[in-house]
Amino acid sequence: MTTDQESSMSVTETGATIWLTGLPSAGKTTIAYELAGRLRTEGHKVEVLDGDEIREFLSAGLGFSREDRHTNVARIGFVAELLAANGVKVLVPVIAPFADSREAVRKRHAAESTSYLEVHVATPVEVCSVRDVKGLYAKQAAGEISGLTGVDDPYEAPESPDLRIESHQQTVQESAAALHALLTERGLA
């Protein structure tokens, strides 16, 4: 290998997993895609692991029991860590309702020395139910579904996330900018 090849290969991107947790319709995915666009424009390698897509392709067959939700979060965390360890900024807009499941993902990242940030998109359930992007709150209210996170199934909000975003009090762009500022502060953007 020539010296020029070595020097061009020595520049490596620092990857990280940025987990956006919050209630259904909180704005997690919208913020993630807004931030992903900005990071890509800056030249970063970025992947968004959307919870709905993961359920369809990686976790098909899992239900919404506590055990199945934990398995789903563990699978997503594993994939996210692999990508982040290889220089990708991984945005994970996934509810992940249980603190112990999120903590297990954080510990896996720590064990591998991979950067992990937890972001709580702290939108009140009253606002989420009005947004109702997928019609879940209406279906739950009509008795068509049960086990809706934050309504009739638990959601354990992070006690001390790396960032708390009040998406109902700012624009999507402002929310993404706050998250970008955190990444910059941590040397990840």
Type of residue numbered 7: S
Q: 109-136, pLDDT tens digit by residue?
A: 999 999 999 999 999 999 999 999 899 9
Model confidence over 149-172: pLDDT tens digits?
999 999 999 999 999 999 999 999
Query: 125 lies in which domain range?
Result: 16-186
Position 12 scores a pLDDT of 65
Q: What is the dihedral of CA 96, 102, 108, 114, to 10 degrees?
A: 90
- 3 lies in some domain: no
User: Mean pLDDT in the chain?
Assistant: 92
Per the domain annotation, does 25 fall within a domain?
Answer: yes
What are the phi and psi torsion angles at 14 (to 5°)? -85, 120
118 forms bridges with which residues in the sheet?
19
Q: Say which CATH number the domain at 123 has.
A: 3.40.50.300
Q: What is the number of domains present in the chain?
A: 1
In whole angstroms, what separates CA 149 from the centre of its chain?
Answer: 16
139 domain-assigned: yes
Is 81 within a domain? yes
| pLDDT for 2 | 43
**Each residue's pLDDT tens digit, 33-90:** 999 999 999 999 999 999 889 989 988 899 889 999 999 999 999 999 999 999 999 9
Q: Please report, in range form, the residues annotated as the binding site.
A: 22-29
Binding residues for ATP: 22-29
pLDDT band at 32 (very low <50, low <70, confident <90, very high): very high
